[in-house]
Amino acid sequence: MELFLLADPEVDNILGYLHNALVYVAKVKEEVVGGYILQATGHDLYELKNIAVATAVQNKGLGTRLLNHVIEVVKELDGKYLEVGTGTFGYQLSFYQRAGFRVDRVDKDFFLLNYNEAIFENGIQHKDMLRLLLKL
């Protein structure tokens, strides 16, 4: 749970989307250093609910390897689309765009309505969620 809290600071949110989800972790010498949570949301649509890399091993390509693994898993499950929600700015947005995700829609006030505490990045409060879609 500690790892996934790096990407989503609300325990209740994480517990809410673990239902019917696939959870994958990456280990180095038996220590969990990364992981993701994937959930089917439609016949051929999957959503990447959470992806996180331990702070000590960030910026070493593990996140990209995890994202590539998600994409391969969805293809193996005969998925045609992979969706992810993220803030409207910051490194996460470019991370997904580099992998080919495109903006599909905006969930206005998502972070205001679904989180008890305000979420800030680089001094700017997250308010809206971008929903990105990758066609496989």
Tell me: the pLDDT tens digits for 22-64?
Answer: 999 999 999 999 999 999 998 899 999 999 999 999 999 999 9
Q: What predicted TM-score, i.e. pTM, was given to this entire model?
A: 0.91
**The domain defined by 4-135 carries CATH number 3.20.20.140:** no
**pLDDT value of position 5:** 94
For the chain, give every domain's residue range: 4-135
Q: Which amino acid is at 11?
A: V
Question: What percentage of the chain has pLDDT greater than the value 70?
Answer: 100
Torsion of CA 87, 92, 97, 102, to 10 degrees: -20
Alpha carbons 62 and 53: distance in angstroms, whole number: 7
pLDDT tens per residue, range 62-94: 999 999 999 999 999 999 999 999 987 878 899
Amino acid (one-letter) located at 16: G
